[in-house]
Amino acid sequence: MSAVVRPGQLDGSTRLYGIVGDPISAVRSPEVFNAMFAQRGVNAVLVPLHVGEEDIAPAWAGLAKLRNLSGLVVTMPHKGRVFAMLDEVGPAAKLVGAVNAARREPDGRWTGDMFDGAGFVEGLRDQGHDPRGWRVCLFGVGGAGAAIALALAQAGVAALSLRDPDTARRDALHRQLQHAFPQTRFTTDTVAGEAFDAVVNATPLGMKPGDPLPFDPAELPTTTLVVDIVTKPEITPLLQRAIDTGHRVHSGKHMHLGQARLVARFFGHEL
């Protein structure tokens, strides 16, 4: 019989989880996962790990050797780099070339997968938004954005417009998605007068004070849902601008909670 674990208990048997990113101050995973561990009596803790983009390779080499490290949540800007360091990756990760979670297997190998997209769609549906048949404009097609584009296509959107200053990355994703989902209309160019059911910010803009808006909601019909995947603050400058211009908004909190449930299951826990 295992001992009863007291909330907040840390000892030599505690399993470690972490979230790696840069910046790290805006992440919500520690509060969500640690509340779950305490509620369910799991002797584990998830801590924030601030790793700069140029330091991820040596940091990963050390972290992967920690035998009581059971898993990592991976956030910007490391999703693509960690993907290349894993022993095995799941189907969503293979399609977008990035991961947002990795776990240690019993034999010591590391497996990763990407849950940003599935968590995003789950968060929409939790709030009563079914994207099937929608016309969506997506700003940002990095690791999270590419995963969201894939999940929206899988959810049956009618049209998806991809916007990113890295045109090579944008065009590569466009070709990949158009081949995999021929029934969906994918575009990369602005179409004058085009109306969208939702416009999504999947860029890092909004994480730092003084960031410019990725787009101006005032230029959109008030029927358009304005979505931001940034989690802190929950009401980002983009969402506040959208509220001020009379739009409905959907915050990054919903995507985070959706993907947290999926990542917890990937780690062997139920959230």
140 φ/ψ sector (left φ>0, alpha ψ -120 to 50, else beta): left
User: Of residues 65, 79, 232, 253, which has the active-site annotation?
Assistant: 79
Catalytic, 79? Answer yes
What is the token pair recorded at 96?
């977008």
Q: Please give the structure tokens belonging to residue 27.
A: 């992440």
In degrees, to the nearest 5, what angle opens at C-alpha 141 toward C-alphas 17 and 205? 75
> Partners of 138 in the beta sheet?
162, 200
Active-site residues, by number, are 79
